[in-house]
Chain A
Amino acid sequence: MTTTTTLPTEERVVRREALYFAVRNTKLMIGFGIVLFLLLVGIFGPILANVEDPNEYVAAAMLPPSSEHWFGTTTFGQDVFTQFVYGLRTTFVAGALGGGIAAVIAMVIGFVAGYRGGWVDEILNMLTNVVLVIPTLAVLLIINAYLGIRSVGVQALFIGLTSWPWAARSIRAQTFSLRNREFVDLARLSGMTTRKIITREIAPNMSSYLFMTFILLFGGSILIASSLDFIGLGPTEGVSLGLMLQNSTQWSALQLGLWWWFVPPGAGITAVVGALYVANVGLDEVFNPKLRET
């Protein structure tokens, strides 16, 4: 970069650069590759399988994997692969929705509390602490008893509304340390509004951090949803990876040696969460120019 004849808008340049380094980062590519692959399986698998109900009894019981039934069948003769692709979809929905809701709440509260400080911070901090100490499971049991959690959406909403406090706290702490840096003053001197300063100066500075937070919330939501499914607080209809695990345990798949019943959902959950984490490590390198090998 020797002669610059025009100065394109700075953000555009940064984005183009980030993309340049992103496609050259193996960790990021592998991590995103796996997530993308599983996401595509979750999206197109059910379309291709095209069954009315993934829990239908379609074949003989306890068949090991074969070309007919890729992941074998359950003790009831349900097709594990069909359940897997539908379950994957549900799991992505629960993770994205729950993690997304939690991330939005955490960012709004964390940014505002950290940037504003003072009494705003104290009130939001109190709110955060209250939600943090609420015994989530007990509340969920009560809600379930009264309303019943019947859909993935309600489950994700509940997860989102209860799992944000730790993220809000860490975003608040980061914002707090960043807002005292002089570039924030300089942005103010450039006529930027508070909202712009938060979204364009502070947030990009912790973008990999925010992404990691989202990943942890996303993964956390998947794990919470699976646990809820596992203890029987999941949606009553459909299938999820957690429900598959619950069924396989309930019907002693391990003892019966039906590994193909519990390995796919377990591996699916692990793969999604793990791949997102690997991608995040790569993303840190992309976003932080100092970590780039130049």
Chain B
Amino acid sequence: MLKVDNVTKVYKVGTFGGRTMTAVDTVSFDVRPGEVVSLIGESGSGKSTIGKMILGLTPVTSGSITVDGVPIQPGKDYYRTVQGVFQDPFSCYNPVFKADRVFALIKESYYPSVPDAEWTERVRSAIQDVRLNPDEVLGKFPHQLSGGQLQRLLIARALLLDLKLLIADEITSMLDASTRIDVLNLLAELKARGLGVLYVTHDLSLGHYLAERTVVLRRGTIVEMGLTSKVFDDPLHPYTRQLLSAVPRLHAPWDDIEPPATCLYHERGGVGGLLEADPGHYVACAQLSDC
């Protein structure tokens, strides 16, 4: 369904766009219906940039993104089926309006002819679907609600549309442990409904819990990708191994990865970005730099 094909994003930074910064470098992966794909990488690795490009909130520098074979066309029709939920629920609400305005905007754009009473019913049932009590959350300002409530309302908002694809960008990182599980269960339900979910995270254990497939991103490039079980049980890339090593080491920066004596990618004569080591299990060159 979603196909990200050799996508690169170069940001212009500095006055007059004097310098550039490559945030995402020739990334390709796909998400199928009814599948959760987790995109794992440390902060600054370009995860949100990928999410924003898929959502059409920032243009790609090169490469293509298609949904059902059609290049994405950000706009009202596109967002009827493709939605995003972001990391920081507090900044997703306009602080001068009540939180339920996010529902009113959906109605205004997509369901202007639905009678108010029926719409209210739909909103209330979507809110119940995310296990909130409509009476507790409707008619309140964002600062009167908790992060978990706000985040769930955003999921409820997405549920009001006929979604095919949801981009969930670190949606649990601001939540406490118990709410986090609830939200993840919600994503599992969406998956069961046949939605494709791109689950962006830096939290390994939770990604494991949910996703069929895992994409490991490092400094804007994919270093390893494949079935979650393969990537987690049999990591091929030294960066993935380090990510998975249970104890984070103090004093040793993440980038101090010792390249292994033998690099699978070179042994097997990989070409292009990724080598298909096992069926459906891809790995990049272990040298972590040009080689």
Residues of A whose CB lies within 8 Å of any CB of B are 1-11, 13-14, 118, 122, 181-183, 185-192, 201, 204-205, 207, 287-290
Given contacts A7-B100, A204-B96, A189 and B79 within 8 Å (CB-CB):
yes
- B93 proximity list for chain A (CB < 8 A): 183, 186
Known: A7-B116, A7-B120, A287-B96. A188 touches B139 (CB 8 A): no
B263 lies within 8 A of chain A by Cβ = no
Contacts A4-B138, A7-B123: A192 and B109 contacting too (C-beta < 8 A)? yes
Closest to A8 in B: B116
- Cβ contacts under 8 Å, A185 to chain B: 52, 55, 57, 84, 86, 92
CB distance A289 to B141 under 8 Å?
yes
Contacts of A10 in B (CB 8 A): 97-98, 100-101, 104-105
Question: Contact: A7 with B104, CB < 8 Å?
Answer: yes
**B224 CB, min distance to chain A CBs, angstroms:** 29
Given A205-B96, A289-B96, also A4-B104 (CB < 8 A)? no
Please report which residues of chain B, range 117-150, place their CB below 8 angstroms from some CB of chain A when the two chains form the complex.
117, 119-120, 123, 134-135, 138-141, 143
- Other-chain residue from B88, B139, B154 in contact with A4 (beta carbon distance below 8 A): B139
B101-A189 in contact (CB<8A): no
Q: Which residues of B contact A7 (CB under 8 A)?
A: 100, 103-104, 116, 119-120, 123, 138
A4 and B120: CB pair below 8 A?
yes
- Our pick among A188, A190, A288 for the contact of B96 (Cβ within 8 Å) is A288
Q: Tally of A-B residue pairs with Cβ under 8 A?
A: 101
User: Which residues of A are found within 8 Å of B119, using beta-carbon distances?
Assistant: 7
Given A189-B83, A289-B143, A183 and B106 contact (CB-CB distance below 8 Å): no
Whose C-beta in chain A lies nearest to the C-beta of B124? A4
Question: What chain B residues lie within 8 Å of A14 (beta carbons)?
Answer: 96-98
With A7-B119, A185-B86 as contacts: A290 and B94 at CB distance below 8 Å:
no
Q: Which residues in A have their C-beta under 8 angstroms from that of B110?
A: 191
20 sampled A-B residue pairs with Cβ under 8 A? A4-B120, A4-B138, A4-B139, A7-B100, A7-B104, A7-B116, A7-B138, A10-B98, A10-B104, A13-B98, A13-B139, A183-B91, A187-B94, A188-B57, A189-B79, A190-B105, A192-B105, A205-B95, A205-B96, A289-B95
Q: For the side of the interface on B, what is the size category?
A: 35 or more
Residues of B within 8 A of A6 (CB): 116-117, 120
Report yes or no: A186 in contact with B120, Cβ–Cβ below 8 A: no
Given A181-B91, A191-B79, A204-B96, list of 9 further CB < 8 A pairs? A6-B116, A7-B100, A7-B138, A10-B98, A183-B92, A185-B57, A187-B105, A288-B96, A289-B95
Residues from chain A with Cβ under 8 Å of B74 in the complex: 188
- Min C-beta distance of A263 to chain B, whole Å: 42
Complex-state Cα separation, A13 to B116, whole angstroms: 15
Chain B residues, Cβ within 8 Å of A186: 86, 92-93, 102, 154
- Smallest CB-CB separation from B80: which chain A residue? A191
Question: CA of A10 to CA of B138 in the docked complex: distance in angstroms?
Answer: 11
State which residues 28-82 of B face A: CB under 8 Å. Answer: 52, 55, 57, 74-76, 79-80
Asked if B116 contacts A190 (CB within 8 A), the reply is no
| Chain B neighbourhood of A290, CB < 8 A | 95, 143
Give CA–CA (A204, B52) in the complex, Å. Answer: 25
A190 engages B79 (CB within 8 Å): yes
Residues of A within 8 Å of B91, CB to CB, are 181-183
Closest residue of chain A to B109 (Cβ to Cβ) is A191
- Would A207 and B96 count as touching, CB distance under 8 A? yes
Q: Quick check: B139 and A204 within 8 Å, CB to CB?
A: no
Q: Residue B16 contacts which of A2, A13, A122 (CB distance < 8 angstroms)?
A: A122
Chain A contacts of B79 at CB under 8 A?
188-191
Give the CA-CA distance A39 to B106 in the complex, in Å: 42
B250-288 contact mask (Cβ, 8 Å, vs A): 1 or 0: 000000000000000000000000000000000000000
Residues of B within 8 A of A1 (CB): 138-140
Q: What is the distance, in angstroms, from B139's C-beta to the closest C-beta of chain A?
A: 4
Residues in chain A near residue B57, CB distance under 8 A: 185, 188-189
**Restricting to B147-162, which residues have a CB under 8 Å from any CB of A?**
154
| A5–B116 CA distance with the chains assembled, in angstroms | 10
Across the interface, do B109 and A190 meet the contact criterion of CB distance under 8 Å? yes
